[in-house]
Amino acid sequence: MAKSMQELYEERMDRYWKANHLQKPDKVPFRPCAAELAGKIAGYTAQQVTHDPDLGLDAVVKMCQAVPGIDATVVNMVFVNTSVTESYGLKYYKVPGIDLDADDSFQYIEPQTEEDAFMKVEEYDRFIEDPNEFVMNVWLPRTSKYMVPPGEQNTWKNNLAWLKNGIAIQQYFQKLGANVARMQTETGTVSSLAGALKAPFDILADKFRGFRGIAYDLHRCPDKVLKATEAVAPHMAWNCIATADPSRKVPCSHWMHRGATGFFSEEVFEKFHWPTLKMVTEQIWEAGIQTIYYAEGKWARNLKHFRQLPEQSIIFHCDKDDIYEVKRVLGDRFAISGGVPNDMLAFGEPADVKKRVKQLITDFGPDGGYLLDAEAIMQQDVKVENFIAMAQACEEYGYI
Amino acid sequence: MAKSMQELYEERMDRYWKANHLQKPDKVPFRPCAAELAGKIAGYTAQQVTHDPDLGLDAVVKMCQAVPGIDATVVNMVFVNTSVTESYGLKYYKVPGIDLDADDSFQYIEPQTEEDAFMKVEEYDRFIEDPNEFVMNVWLPRTSKYMVPPGEQNTWKNNLAWLKNGIAIQQYFQKLGANVARMQTETGTVSSLAGALKAPFDILADKFRGFRGIAYDLHRCPDKVLKATEAVAPHMAWNCIATADPSRKVPCSHWMHRGATGFFSEEVFEKFHWPTLKMVTEQIWEAGIQTIYYAEGKWARNLKHFRQLPEQSIIFHCDKDDIYEVKRVLGDRFAISGGVPNDMLAFGEPADVKKRVKQLITDFGPDGGYLLDAEAIMQQDVKVENFIAMAQACEEYGYI
Amino acid sequence: MQESKSVPGVCFPWEEKKKEYAEIKGDEEVVKAWWETYDVHAYVHLWFCVTGL
Amino acid sequence: MQESKSVPGVCFPWEEKKKEYAEIKGDEEVVKAWWETYDVHAYVHLWFCVTGL
């Protein structure tokens, strides 16, 4: 008799949990991070999955129905819903279907000058004193076409923008929750993460000062950069824990940017990036939650630092690093994921993909603590047949 | 075999629908409007049911469980949730547990002077030109401790108040929807109404100008009062239809205030109150929705006007009028509800209540088009045993 | 009947919002539909404060 | 570690809000709990804009 969705879900949750906790499940779990690819499978444009929250979430359910063998996946890997951001006038995206063609992926526009930065270099002290005050009164108004900071002349567009922010984000949260339930009941698939984290240094670099700004600041005001990471860290931890899985079964996710080895020296990583990231990760772990370190780019030189974290506190996702090297350095302490190159998924053939999956499973499966995924988030360039091949190969070879 | 909740619900919905549409159902439906009384039955204070949206809604479900025989009831007869209104600083309530004892009912505070009015007499033209602009930019900011109108210096409390308004009301709407579903699945009870309406004249009198203000305005600027009712009427109709039951099975509700015969002359009613109320009721009826005319106070002199409305377009709820006279004047065109005096429910005995219910059912039941209810919304002064007697008597005598 | 400038269900009309965009490269209906969705919600909130609170 | 004035999860502290009331005649915990509920939600919205959008 066919398994019920509930049985399938529990089987997959067990598999996912065990692999995340360095154990050997019955099968290597397939845990893809499929963004615009889900829309491609469901028949929706990038504009539709990015701008229409119902279709964006529906695409993931349709993907789970169309491609058997997905154990766990991200309910909103297209994590920005641009109709929500447009409702309150957010400035920093190029939106598919508006600024970009309907089949392009959304893009983050980082201000390029000190003048345009969402936080000015002279504002470090205010930020350090009270990051929440800064976000509410300075940062958010600056990122919106309509919002007005305190002290300036108010406008109707300002009032409406805050109202719409409240309504639209609240509705989006509810849609997310409903879709996690839909994935479970209609497809037996686990929502692979809940609660998002950024490293304090990353959030400062990405959203407040920009990469250029922070690069200069490391020389002109290094103490302030450090204090700013320390001031914002408790907010990062608190938000991640508050929005994490209440049952503590699935991990939160840490999308890692500027700690990759191409951006800054090891000294910068050690001094500015790692201490607060470590602290935040430990706080989250103390709250009973694992963190997926989704390490975009190359991290080889910095891998050794992660060994300082409590065993099983993270799952390390490998992008451009040699996954065999990652396994050697971190595999005794943390589960690892990744291993299928996105180039292969975009330009290769199903046979290539199956061969790669078989190899990964053969090499990592017997130890446990391995989850099959592409190297990076899968967008519309991934061939659907290659994605299906990935799932099929995991079903075929994964029970070892 | 016991009926499933779904069967019970369908039976009750059929009964409710037929009575509303002047037909004779299998039983006279019991459709109480229980506010703080629900909390009393559930064991919650007025503060709890008014301030805590979860307990307020839970109280109604508990009441439906505790008192068998409720065919349809209002999911939130304590219609104001004061934690929502406090979140954005609404000024015009006395709140149980804050300004009032925990067991008092919330009270609306109407500004008593022209200076304090939420709309000034010289603002009629602006209101008439664009009521939505007025609500957004003038009225709502004036009703909130924190909100700032356009043109004035903005504050952080203003921005936060709009954000919280968006979040809190959105969440409240979702809780309402969830509780309507809960009433159905856990107790088989019909949510008796959806979509609220006020008469254009009432909304002007209650929320914008105040009773004193409008009384003067009828003499100093009668044309503007009339134009204001005409300007706001389309918004009343639109909102009622937009928030009505999508299936069109249950009516919307019109809580009737200043058209009662104690407040203004018949001439005022005919000229200022009735034309736009009639228009709005007809528009709602054209959209497929009945309106409960919940006629608070005495309406005898004005009853005849309601005969102009399309047959079955309203259900007339009788408060202080002689229900036999109401039946005589309107009973051939519209269903009627009410008939059990709140004084009797507060100070009488179950035997009195049963006798009254039996009489009402005997007199009105055979024709159909009658729904059992108290005269007015039931608050904490109603004795629980009298409410139970009402339900029991309806079960006992109602199948005629 | 008095003519009023405000249209029920609208706070910030799409025609005004659209002027902010140099071009809409994809399906305008999708952008319009969601702008209006949240705009209607804002309108309903405002009038819920008037009639429901 | 740098000490910061802002407390995670708080935009408008209950201690400040409470000063608006001459008296709280009933159960203060109910009033406080719901004030903080919506305040936390506002905080989460603000930081969702920072980390999630």
The mean per-residue pLDDT over the stretch C8-37 comes to 97
Give pLDDT, residue B267: 95
Q: Is D48 on the interface with B (CB under 8 A)?
A: no
Task: Kindly state whether A169 is in contact with chain C, defined as any CB-CB distance less than 8 angstroms.
Answer: no
Question: pLDDT confidence of B92, banded at 50, 70, 90?
Answer: very high
Q: Which residues in chain C are contacts of A52 at CB distance < 8 A? A: 30, 33-34
In tens, the pLDDT along B197-214 reads 999 999 999 999 999 999
Q: How far is CA C30 from the centre of its chain?
A: 14
Determine the average pLDDT of the residues in B145-150: 98
d(CA A149, CA A72): 42
Q: Which residues of C touch B237 (CB under 8 A)?
A: 8
CB contact under 8 A, A96 and C26: yes
- Mean pLDDT for B350-369 is 98
Give tens-digit pLDDT for A112-152: 999 999 999 999 999 999 999 999 999 999 999 999 999 99
Chain C nearest CA to B290, separation (Å): 18
D and B make contact (3+ CB pairs below 8 Å): yes
Q: Report DSSP state, residue A244.
A: S
Q: What pLDDT score was predicted for residue C3?
A: 59
Q: Parallel, antiparallel, or unpaired for β A196-197 and A190-191?
A: unpaired
Taking residues B294-303, what's their average pLDDT? 95
CA distances from B341 to B18, B323, B360, B373, B376 (A): 25, 11, 12, 9, 8
What is the 8-class DSSP label of residue A84? Answer: H
Contact assignment for C52 to B140 by CB distance below 8 Å: no
Question: pLDDT value at position A1?
Answer: 65
Alpha-carbon distance B174 to nearest alpha carbon in chain A (angstroms): 9
User: How much is the average pLDDT of A249-274?
Assistant: 95
Average pLDDT of span A12-37? 98
Give mean pLDDT, residues B49-67.
Answer: 98
B138, closest residue in chain C (CA to CA):
C46
Give me A9's structure tokens: 């879900």
Stretch A307-325: mean pLDDT, rounded?
98
Q: Does D52 touch chain A (CB under 8 A)?
A: yes
B288: left (phi over 0), alpha (psi -120 to 50) or beta: left
**Residue A96: its chain C contacts at CB < 8 A?**
26
pLDDT number for residue D3: 59
From the list D21, D26, D46, the residue facing B101 with the nearest CB is D26
What residues of B are in contact with residue D38 (Cβ under 8 Å)? Answer: 83-84, 87, 164, 167-168
Other Cβ atoms less than 10 A from the Cβ of A106: the count is 25
**Average pLDDT rounded to a whole number, residues A240-247:** 96
Averaged over B39-45, what is the pLDDT? 98
CB of A75 within 8 A of CB of A57?
yes
**In this prediction, does ipTM exceed 0.95?**
yes
Alpha carbon of A108: minimum distance to chain B alpha carbons (Å) = 24
Of B152, B164, B174, the CB nearest to A174: B174
Cα angle value A171/A256/A223 (rounded, 5°): 105
Phi, psi of A90 (to 5 degrees): -65, 135
pLDDT reported for residue B1: 64
Confidence (pLDDT) at C5:
79
The answer to whether the Cβ–Cβ distance between A87 and C35 falls below 8 Å is yes
Instruction: Indicate yes or no: CB of D34 within 8 angstroms of CB of B83.
Output: yes
Distance (Å) from the alpha carbon of D22 to chain B's nearest alpha carbon: 8
pLDDT, tens digit (0-9, with 9 covering 90-100), for D2-52: 457 789 999 999 999 999 999 999 999 999 999 999 999 999 999 999 999
Please indicate whether, in this complex, the C-beta atoms of D39 and B164 are within 8 angstroms of each other: yes
State mean pLDDT over C15-25: 97
Whether the Cβ atoms of residue B121 and residue A102 lie closer than 8 Å to each other? no
The pLDDT of B88-101, averaged and rounded, is: 97
Contact B99 D25 (CB under 8 A): yes
pLDDT digits (tens, 9 = 90+) for B300-312: 999 999 999 999 9
Q: Given CB atoms, is A351 within the 8 Å cutoff of chain D?
A: no
Tokens 């609240």: give the residue.
A170
Among B84, B90, B130, whose Cβ lies nearest the Cβ of C4?
Answer: B130
- CB distance from D22 to chain A under 8 Å? no
Tell me: pLDDT of D1 over 60. Answer: no
* Yes or no, beta carbons of B52 and D30 under 8 Å apart: yes
Q: Is the pLDDT of residue B2 over 90?
A: no
Compute the average pLDDT of residues A238-267.
Answer: 95
B120 touching chain A per CB within 8 A: no
Residue B287 is predicted with a pLDDT of 98
Residue B126 at interface with chain A, using a CB cutoff of 8 Å: no
Contact C45 B169 (CB under 8 A): yes
- Structural contact between residues A360 and A16, judged by C-beta atoms closer than 8 angstroms: no
Best mutation site among A48, A51, A81, A157 for testing chain C: the one with the most C CBs within 10 Å? A51
CA distance B302 to B204: 20
Mean pLDDT computed over A279-306: 97
Chain B partners (3+ C-beta pairs within 8 A) = A, C, D
The Cα angle at residue A166 between residues A165 and A170, in degrees rounded to 5: 110
CB atoms within 10 A of CB A371: 27
d(CA D10, CA A235): 10
User: If you ran DSSP here, which 8-state letter would residue B206 be given?
Assistant: I
Answer whether residue A214 shows pLDDT above 90. Answer: yes
Sign of CA dihedral B258, B260, B263, B268: positive
Chain B closest-CA separation from residue D5 CA (Å)? 16
pLDDT for D47 equals: 98
Neighbours of B213 (CB within 10 A): 23
User: Is the pLDDT assigned to residue B196 strictly greater than 90?
Assistant: no
Contact D50/A at CB under 8 A: yes
Of the residues B87, B144, B153, B154, the best mutation for testing chain A's interface (the one with the most A CB atoms within 10 Å of its CB) is B154
The share of chain B scoring above pLDDT 90, in percent, equals 98
- Are A296 and A374 in contact by the 8 Å Cβ rule? The answer is no
Q: Which of D14, D36, D37, D46 to mutate to test the interface with B (most CBs of B within 10 A)?
A: D37
CB contact under 8 A, A207 and D2: no
Cβ-proximal residues to B350 (8 Å cutoff; 6+ apart), any chain: B385, B386, B388, B389
Distances in Å between the alpha carbon of B52 and those of B66, B87, B109, B380, D39? 21, 12, 21, 17, 15
Q: What percent of chain A has pLDDT over 90?
A: 98
Instruction: Give the gap in angstroms from C-alpha D40 to the nearest C-alpha of chain A.
Output: 10
Q: Which of B86, B97, B167 sits opposite D41 (nearest CB)?
A: B167
Q: Does B125 touch chain C (CB under 8 A)?
A: no
Q: Do B80 and C53 touch (CB under 8 A)?
A: yes
Chain C touched by A52 (CB under 8 Å): yes
Chains D and C touch (3+ CB pairs under 8 A): no
Residue of D30, D43, D45, D47 to mutate, interface with B, max B Cβ within 10 Å: D30
Residue B51 contacts by C-beta under 8 Å, 6 or more apart in sequence? B81, B82, B83, B86, B95, B96, B97, D30, D31, D34
**Cβ pair D41:B160 closer than 8 A:** no
The rounded mean pLDDT for chain A is 97
**Model pTM?**
0.97
User: Which of 210-229 (A) contact D at CB < 8 A?
Assistant: 227
Q: Do C2 and B85 touch (CB under 8 A)?
A: no
CB pair distance less than 8 Å for A45 and C38: no
D41 contacts B86? CB cut-off 8 A:
no
Q: How far apart are alpha carbons B87 and A316 in whole angstroms?
A: 41
